[in-house]
């Protein structure tokens, strides 16, 4: 939040087309600040929409980087409607329900990286890194990224109980039981 000349709080102006264009110049903030003879933190605030340049700096940015002065007053994109948070499932938040929710968030994040033309290369890179981290966490929750050797599974007591149930169920079909036993022996090797 910023404060106006009367000391009243006002909302941050938001990101404009000019802010996006400044962030897309392709130079470091340090280099841009040096060229414009401005403080690096001011360049950063202009890029994020935390501040908008006055007439003198708008004219300067037009000369240096061909950013139209009116671009600072144009929104970067149409405002997005916030999606309401889904209610918790009837059984409460389980690992599976959280994984499903995380998968939906990950999909939206990837869609944004792929489709938002206002993202700079740096923002795209940051969002991609965040999505990769979420993918790792999602894999841990679902077990999809945990590669477990079948031999380890077959040594678990739970597997032995499953094996007993399968053997008991296949007693009426000795050929099927023999085929399954051979297949499991091959996995164990």
- Residue 84: pLDDT band (50, 70, 90) is low
Closest CA to 151 of 141, 159, 142: 159
Give me the domain span that covers residue 99.
95-142
Q: CB neighbours of 29 closer than 8 A, spacing ≥ 6?
A: 40, 43, 44, 47
In a domain, 82, yes or no: no
pTM tops 0.85: no
Residue 78, in any domain of the structure: no
More confident residue, 16 or 142: 16
What band does 63 get if pLDDT is binned at 50, 70 and 90?
Answer: very high
Convert the pLDDT of each residue in 2-31 to its tens digit.
444 444 434 445 788 898 889 888 788 888
* Distance from C-alpha of 173 to C-alpha of 186, rounded to nearest angstrom: 20
> Is 84 among the domain residues?
no
Mean pLDDT of the 143-166 span: 83
Query: Does 31 share its domain with 63?
Result: yes
Separation between Cα atoms, residue 120 and residue 20, nearest integer Å:
7
pLDDT of residue 100: 81
DSSP for 124-140 reads HHHHHHHHHHHHHHHHH
Q: Is position 86 within any domain?
A: no
Asked if the structure places residue 87 within a domain, the reply is no
Domain count, the chain: 3
């Amino acid at each position: 939040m910023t404060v106006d000349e009367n000391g009243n709080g006002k909302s941050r102006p938001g990101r404009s087309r000019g802010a996006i264009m400044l962030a897309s110049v392709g130079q470091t903030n340090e280099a841009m600040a040096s060229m414009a003879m401005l403080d690096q933190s001011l360049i950063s605030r202009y890029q994020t929409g935390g501040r908008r340049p006055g007439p003198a700096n708008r004219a300067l940015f037009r000369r240096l980087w061909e950013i139209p002065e009116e671009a600072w007053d144009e929104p970067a994109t149409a405002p997005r409607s916030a999606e309401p948070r889904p209610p918790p499932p009837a059984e409460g938040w389980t690992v599976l329900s959280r994984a499903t929710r995380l998968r939906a968030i990950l999909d939206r994040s990837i869609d944004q990286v792929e489709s938002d033309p206002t993202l700079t290369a740096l923002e795209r890179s940051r969002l991609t890194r965040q999505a990769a981290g979420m993918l790792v966490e999602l894999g841990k929750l679902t077990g999809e990224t945990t590669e477990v050797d079948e031999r380890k599974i077959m040594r678990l007591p739970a597997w032995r109980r499953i094996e007993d149930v399968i053997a008991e169920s296949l007693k009426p079909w000795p050929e099927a039981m023999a085929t399954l036993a051979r297949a499991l022996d091959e996995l164990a090797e």
